């Protein structure tokens, strides 16, 4: 398993633990159980890399988790959706990475897909439902940008710093 996929699984565990902490503070033990059930086999998956465990997570445990969330408030699938989408993209487009683009206002970084061109250069792709009237990106889709890893970020965040094409 490559580092990017391993980091995505670690991020899934991190999200689940944050959800469990929050739900525990609210006294919602049943919801904590749902979150823990979702991720409890991931450490073994990462430690052993036994063939089939990743497929089991994806096709069985993840689907059970989604089914158990139906009708519950709040719905925590949004915590995991970007990670699941990135994992799917990794299978479909191995040169696709999640990169973060600054807004022109400087208020936030938005995650999108970048296609790796060389060691630090990526082509910016639009996010689903991208609307330039609502999100003015410093580097719009189609830009070729140089990215740097954001210090102290986990998982590592590739942030677009300069437009080079």
In angstroms, the Cα distances linking 149 to 86, 100, 145, 146 are 17, 10, 13, 10
Confidence of residue 36 (pLDDT cuts 50, 70, 90): very high
Same domain, 79 and 8: yes
Q: Which residues pair with 97 in a beta bridge?
A: 114
Residue 91 lies in a domain: no
- 57 within 8 A of 45, measured Cβ to Cβ: yes
107 and 67 within one domain:
no
59 with 33, same domain: the answer is yes
Q: Residues 60-112: pLDDT tens digits?
A: 999 999 999 988 877 788 788 888 988 888 888 888 888 999 998 877 888 88
> Per the structure, how many domains does the chain have?
2
Helices (H), the chain: 3-25, 29-39, 42-48, 53-56, 62-69, 77-92
pLDDT at 108: 86
The verdict on 76 and 108 lying in the same domain is: no
Tell whether 146 is covered by a domain: yes
Q: Supply the pTM of this predicted model.
A: 0.72
Q: Does 154 lie in the same domain as 127?
A: yes
Asked if residue 79 and residue 130 are part of one domain, the reply reads no
Average pLDDT, the chain: 90
Residue 89 lies in a domain: no
% the chain with pLDDT above 90 = 55
Q: How far apart are CA 164 and CA 122, in angstroms?
A: 10
Domain end (from 55, 83, 111): 83
Position 90 in a domain: no
- Asked if omega into 105 is within 30° of 0 (cis), the reply is no
Q: Which of 56, 83, 110 is the last residue of a domain?
A: 83
Range of the domain at 110: 96-163
């Amino acid at each position: 398993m490559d580092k990017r996929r391993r980091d995505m699984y670690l991020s899934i565990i991190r999200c689940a633990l944050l959800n469990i902490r929050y739900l525990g503070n609210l006294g919602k033990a049943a919801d904590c159980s749902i979150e823990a059930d979702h991720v409890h086999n991931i450490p073994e998956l990462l430690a052993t890399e036994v063939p089939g465990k990743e497929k089991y997570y994806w096709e069985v445990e993840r689907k059970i988790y989604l089914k158990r969330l139906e009708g519950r408030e709040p719905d925590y699938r949004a915590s995991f959706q970007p990670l699941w989408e990135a994992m799917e993209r990794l299978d479909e487009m191995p040169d696709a990475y999640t990169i973060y683009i600054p807004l022109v206002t400087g208020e936030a970084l938005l995650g999108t897909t970048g296609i790796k061109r060389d060691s630090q250069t990526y082509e910016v792709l639009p996010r689903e439902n991208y609307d330039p009237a609502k999100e003015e990106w410093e580097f719009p889709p189609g830009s070729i940008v140089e990215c740097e890893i954001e210090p102290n970020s986990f998982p590592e965040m590739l942030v677009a710093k300069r437009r080079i094409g």
